[in-house]
Copies of this chain bind each other. A is one copy, B any other.
Amino acid sequence: MNRIKVGILGATGMVGQQYVSLLQNHPWFEVSYLAASPNSAGKTYAEAVSGRWHMRDDIPRALKDLPVQDANQPERAAGKCKFVFSALEMNKQAILDLEEAYAAIDIPVVSNASANRSTADVPMLIPEINHQHIEIIPEQQKSRGWKKGFIVVKPNCSLQSYMTPIYALIAAGFPVRRLIISTMQAVSGAGYPGVPSLDMLDNLVPFIGGEEEKSENEPLKIMGKVSGNKIINDQTIKISAHCNRVGVIDGHTACVSLEFAEKKPDLDQIVSIWHDFKSLPQEMQLPFAPAQPIIYRHEPNRPQPRKDRDADKGMAVSVGRLRPCQVFDVRFVGLSHNTIRGAAGGGILNAELLKVKGLFDF
């Protein structure tokens, strides 16, 4: 099979590098186009990331000499790739404008950026949860006047450690009413240079700008319903999130207290629901889909970031410490890899979903 040619916008940043690294040897996609800010444009990729390549593997040989293009010139991508992953790091309006400009010239955008997350006709996908939200894409195209282009986004990395386990319970017939969540988030989430070491050695910072708002609002859209050319947010779940930065490289951990709306499963039922949970990505055997999206750890002191973040190549959520809550119904700890499942790996899974659903068949 010929692989689909893909581009990466913001290819020199941390998330862009993660895309480059994870897409090596991808069975369906082949990176053929790299774009970044004007001052990287014209350099080879190796030159552009020189001194700031942060991946464990070296730069893929095939991309070292690829010239980096100016991401602000969408027309340059035409004919060079079928769609782009957006890992743009610019102000919100600039990203909105640029992602639309790519879509407008028939280049779909699979975005990591937060700019379009609250756009009503842009689906925010966790494929195991709301793959059906892609049905809004034709509406999005129609109302924007786009033919083949479109935009999809993925949610914030911090949600990933608990949204799939919570969705699994809802999907099994146990609606959830209230959640109080406290996260301990890894420094890689802030990019490079990101968090100063003076803040993380013998310390933690109980604040991450904008993160609590995203953690509280984005789940409502993910759990929402497509209605015409809009996604209507869920109105039934209430979430309070405390977001903390801790001295961990990769892997966001969340302590969750959960109140059910109606029926309350017992603890064994919950473990079974999580253990058995599968969704479309698993059924369709998408290359980046974890075999088991939710892994329950029975050890009393797991999950832990360094030990569990790489579960199923960083795409599975690890859950543990399920126990009764003294205030709500149950509580547990969730963990996922913030730069794989929570960023580039999640974007790739989104693209795989779009591919099997025919959105790139043009």
| Chain A residues engaging chain B, CB cutoff 8 angstroms | 51, 54, 56, 178-180, 182, 184, 187-188, 192-207, 209, 216, 238-242, 244, 246-249, 253, 255, 257, 299-307, 310, 320-321, 325-328, 331, 333
Query: Within the assembled complex, what's the spacing in Å between the Cα atoms of A200 and B306?
Result: 9
* Beta-carbon contact of A197 and B331 below 8 Å: no
Chain B nearest Cβ from A82, distance in angstroms: 33
CB-CB < 8 A to A299: which residues of B? 51
B239 lies within 8 A of A326 (CB): yes
Contact status A180-B327, CB under 8 Å: yes
Q: List 7 extra interface pairs beyond A201-B249, A207-B301, A240-B331, CB under 8 A.
A: A178-B327, A179-B327, A187-B198, A200-B201, A202-B247, A244-B255, A246-B246
- The answer for the CA separation of A182 and B240 in the assembled complex, in Å, is 13
Q: A197-B194, A216-B326, A240-B328 are in contact. Are A203 and B248 (CB under 8 A)?
A: yes
Residue with the highest number of chain B CB atoms closer than 10 Å, among A247, A300, A328, A331: A247
Residue of B nearest to A51 (CB): B299
In the complex, what residues of B have CB within 8 A of residue A197's CB? 187, 194-197, 199-201, 247
Q: Are B239 and A202 in contact (CB under 8 A)?
A: no
Contacts of A201 in B (CB 8 A): 187, 197, 200-202, 247-249
